[in-house]
Amino acid sequence: MGSWPKSHRAAFAPPSLSLGLALCTPVASPPLSSPVDSSAVAAAAEAPPCSLYWVGGEWIGDPHAGADFFSSKSVPNIGVSSGNYSVQLVYMRCPWFSIGTGYDLSVTTFSPDGRVFQVEYATKAVDNSGTVVGIKCKDGIVLGVEKLVTSKMMLEGSNRRIHSVHWHSGLAVAGLAADGRQIVSRAKSEAASYEKVYGEPISVKELADRVASYVHLCTLYWWLRPFGCGVILGGYDRDGPQLYMIEPSGVSYKYFGAALGKGRQAAKTEIEKLKLSELTCREGIVEVAKIIYGVHDEAKDKAFELELSWICDESNRQHQKVPADLLEQAKVAAQAALEEMDAD
């Protein structure tokens, strides 16, 4: 049919109410007093989804589309002809439009059932990311990331997902890497500012609260958008090892073990099986590697690179990348466990 002139195009109406275009053949457009044409009814029944036909004074749509239309009596019989088609303007409700339509245009708008769709969409970005795992062991924290490799040309170690915030704390990012870098930058700024003012390193709890407040700030104003990432923050302070998870909504909780990303549910199940209070960080490195290798779906996901870091007594309570020899041992143990699982 080609594109319609701008003057003939329909515009969107208020939330869940859209102004649609109804396509109908000349034979199916009789005046209100005309009898129903059986051939027109048959043509309407075979209409593609969201098409409307004017038959005997009624609008007939695709029964499988589930459209809920307003009474045709309230719609003026105005039409625009073009070739073999005529176009009628009619207000209609379409379920696939009403899901979020009008309520997801701004992060400051609540839906009637109390949802903020923009924050939910940001959470989807986290859920589609590679898996991120953090565990609190008896002597420190271990962070692990399944960093999906998007191209074979990408150099190993680039586009890191684990970042140091302060000498005693680090962040693992799930979701949009660029958004994660912005959060890391803010966390570093908060840590430096606190130490400059108070003369001592910021506590992990205070750092988590400040970062969570910053993330939440981006859900309060219409000219901002939520961060499309979640982070797991680990650190070691005077209260011992601490582990926090911060979600796109700005919610922050303290955990013994946490997971983000597409494999989070399976990862949480495996974490719950561990006796974390008896586990050392050396042992935790192997367990985290096993979890990440176990949740990785080789059939659907791309190749991945394993990133591991720790903050423990062995690292002098500083956030560091796991030494290369320990990382390699963890990979070998994880692959062996995966092969054993496949054999069973």
Is residue 61, in this structure, part of any structural domain at all? Answer: no
Going by C-alpha positions, the residue among 175, 14, 17 that lies closest to residue 109 is: 14
pLDDT (0 to 100) of residue 39:
54
Q: Tell me how far apart the alpha carbons of residues 330 and 72 are, in angstroms, rounded to a whole number.
A: 68
Going by C-alpha positions, the residue among 92, 117, 94 that lies closest to residue 107 is: 117
Average pLDDT on 308-337 reads 94
131 is catalytic: yes
Is residue 41, in this structure, part of any structural domain at all? Answer: no
- Examine the pLDDT at 177 and tell me if it is beyond 90: yes
CA-to-CA separations, 295 to 46, 132, 144, 146, 148, in angstroms, rounded: 45, 11, 13, 9, 13
**Structural domain boundaries enclosing 261:** 118-343
Is residue 177, in this structure, part of any structural domain at all? Answer: yes
pLDDT (0 to 100) of residue 159:
86
Is residue 228, in this structure, part of any structural domain at all? Answer: yes
Is residue 75, in this structure, part of any structural domain at all? Answer: no
Is residue 144, in this structure, part of any structural domain at all? Answer: yes
Kindly report the CATH number assigned to the domain that includes residue 176. Answer: 3.60.20.10
Is residue 56, in this structure, part of any structural domain at all? Answer: no
pLDDT in tens, 227-278: 999 999 999 999 999 999 999 999 999 999 999 999 999 999 999 999 999 9
Confidence of residue 38 (pLDDT cuts 50, 70, 90): low
Structurally, how many domains does the chain consist of? 1
Confidence of residue 302 (pLDDT cuts 50, 70, 90): confident
* pTM of this structure: 0.71
Q: What is the mean pLDDT of the chain?
A: 78
pLDDT in tens, 179-210: 999 999 999 999 999 999 999 999 999 999 99
Q: Which two tokens stand for residue 112?
A: 């009637």
Is residue 165, in this structure, part of any structural domain at all? Answer: yes
- For 321, the 3-state DSSP assignment is strand
Task: Calculate what percentage of the chain has a pLDDT beyond 70.
Answer: 70
Going by C-alpha positions, the residue among 290, 280, 273 that lies closest to residue 329 is: 290
Encoded amino acid at 289, one letter = A
pLDDT in tens, 73-112: 333 443 433 344 344 444 343 443 445 568 888 899 999 9
Q: Which of 101, 123, 131, 219 is catalytic?
A: 131
Region of poorest pLDDT, from 26-35, 112-121, 174-183 = 26-35
- For 63, the 3-state DSSP assignment is coil
